[in-house]
Structure 1
C-alpha cells in the first residue's frame, strides 16, 4: 500500500488534487485509516491515475473522465469527438497565426492592424424574404442544433429554399449563454412562411475570412455607420454564403446586414 504522499510522487498528482478526486468519486483510495483518516492506495491504482492524466491532456472534463473510466465504449466515442475538436482548434489557430502575420507586416510598415483598406460596405434597399425560422433564447454553443431544427422544419413543410441560411440576433447586447437568436431559411412559398423579413434600407458588409474576425468586421461596420450619420434600427442578421464544414476556415463568406435609418 502507498501513502497519499508516496502515491502523489509516483503519479505526479498533488495530494490536494487526490483528496478532491476522492471527494468526487473519481479516484478513491483503496483504504482509509479510521483513526487518523490517512488515505492509502495500491500500486495498480497508478494505472488509473495515469489514465486520468492522459485524458486531461486530451481536454476531457472530470465528469467525462469518470464515465470513461467505467465505460470503454463511451471512452472510444469521446476520444473520437475530442480528436475532431482538437483538429478544429488546430485549423482555427492556423488561421489566427496567418492573421497575426498579416497584422505584424502591416504594423511594421506603419499601418493599422485593424482597418487597412476601405470596408467592403454597400447600401442596399428593400431587403425582403419569406422565411421559415425558429427563434430561441439559448447558449450560443447550441447554434448547430437550432440550425438543424430550421432545416428539419423546411423539409417537413416541403418548402423550396431560395437563398442561403441566415441568423438574426435580437438580443440588445452580447450575452452568449442567454442569447435571443432566430435562424431562418428564405423560401419560395409565401403560404408556408413563418413570417416575412423586410428591411427597407441596410448597410451590407461582405465578410471573407475566419469567423474569428467577425467582431472586427462588426466594429468596422459600426464605425462606418456612425461616421455616415446612420443608426441601426432593427436586429442585425448574417447570411452564410459558405458552409464552414465544407470550406477552409479562412474561406468563409458572410454577408452582414445592418438595418439603418438616417440620424
Structure 2
C-alpha cells in the first residue's frame, strides 16, 4: 500500500488530481484509515491510473473514462467508443485543415496586396433558424430592388417590427439570368399578414455558411456573390445545390448611412 503522497510521486499525478478522481469515483483509494483519514493506494491501482491517463491522452472525457473502466464493459462497446472518437478527431482534423487553408490564403493575399480589405474577408459561420415574412417571385438580379419595394408596401407600417431585409435565390433551369427569388424580412415579433401573397415561415438553420460582406454602391453592381462563388471554387468547397443562397442587407448606424450586403452561400465541405 502507498500513501497518497507516495502514490502521487510514483505516478507523477498531482495530489489535487488524485483527490478529484476519488471524488468522481474514477479512482477511489484502496483503503482509507478511519482514524487519520489517510488515503492508501495499491500497486495494482497504478495500472488503473495508467489506463486513465491513456484514455485522457486519446481525448476521452472523464465521464467516458469512467464507463471505459467498468469491469463488465464489453470489447464491442470499447471498440465502438474508440471508433466514435476516431470519427470526431477526423472531423476536427478536416476543420483544422480548412482553417489552415484560410490562413495560407490570407498570407498569400497579404504578400500580394500588402493589406486585406475588411469587406473582402470570407467568414465561415453557422446561421441560426429564424422566422421570416416573405413572398416568392421569378426574375433577374436587377428586379430585386423592385421586389423589395413591393414587400415594403405589403407590410406597411408594420416595418418597425421587422429586422433587416433579405433575399433567397436559386438558379432556374429555364434561363441562366433568371432566378427563383424569395424576398423577406426577418421577424423580431409576430405581425399581421395583410396579403395572400405573403408567407410567414421558419427559415431553417444552416450549420455551415460561407459569407462575404460588401458595401453596396448604388452606381456600381455588386460583385460580392461572384467573388464569394469564385473563392469557394478556388478553395475546393462544395456548394449545397438544394439550398438557396442568401443576401442580407444591413444599414449602417453611422452618419454616412451606408448599406452593406452579406452574401451567404450554404456549403458542405471541401471536395
Question: TM-score w.r.t. structure 2 length?
Answer: 0.49
For residues 32 and 90 of structure 1, what CA distance do their matches in structure 2 show? 44
Matched, 1:86 2:75: no
- Which residue matches 1:236? none
- Which residue matches 2:255? none
- Which residue matches 2:8? 8
Whether contact under 8 Å (1:2, 1:40) holds in the other structure is yes
- Point out the structure with max Rg over C-alpha: 2
- Which residue matches 2:115? 111
Structure 1 42/123 Cα, relative in aligned 2: closer, same or farther at 3 Å? farther
For residues 25 and 202 of structure 2, what CA distance do their matches in structure 1 show? 55
Matched, 1:74 2:77: yes
Q: Tell me which of 91, 97, 102 is aligned to 2:100.
A: 97
Whether contact under 8 Å (1:2, 1:41) holds in the other structure is yes
- Which residue matches 1:22? 22
Q: Which runs of 5+ in 1 are unaligned?
A: 127-169, 173-194, 200-209, 229-248
Structure 1 87/259 Cα, relative in aligned 2: closer, same or farther at 3 Å? closer
- Which residue matches 2:41? 41
- Which residue matches 1:154? none
Whether contact under 8 Å (2:119, 2:215) holds in the other structure is no
Superposition CA RMSD, Å: 3.9
Correspondence list, 1:176-255, <5 A:
211=208, 214=210, 217=211, 220-221=212-213, 223-224=214-215, 250-254=236-240, 255=244
Aligned-residue offset at 1:75: 2.3
Whether contact under 8 Å (1:18, 1:27) holds in the other structure is yes
Q: Which runs of 5+ in 2 are unaligned?
A: 123-140, 148-185, 189-198, 219-234, 252-258, 260-271
- Which residue matches 1:162? none
Question: TM-score w.r.t. structure 1 length?
Answer: 0.50
Whether contact under 8 Å (2:31, 2:41) holds in the other structure is yes
SS at match of 1:252: strand
For residues 67 and 40 of structure 1, what CA distance do their matches in structure 2 show? 23
- Which residue matches 2:256? none
For residues 113 and 68 of structure 1, what CA distance do their matches in structure 2 show? 50
Deviations 1:158-187 (A, max 9, x none): xxxxxxxxxxxx796xxxxxxxxxxxxxxx
Query: What is the number of equivalent residue pairs in this alignment?
Result: 161
Aligned-residue offset at 1:117: 8.5
Aligned-residue offset at 1:25: 0.6
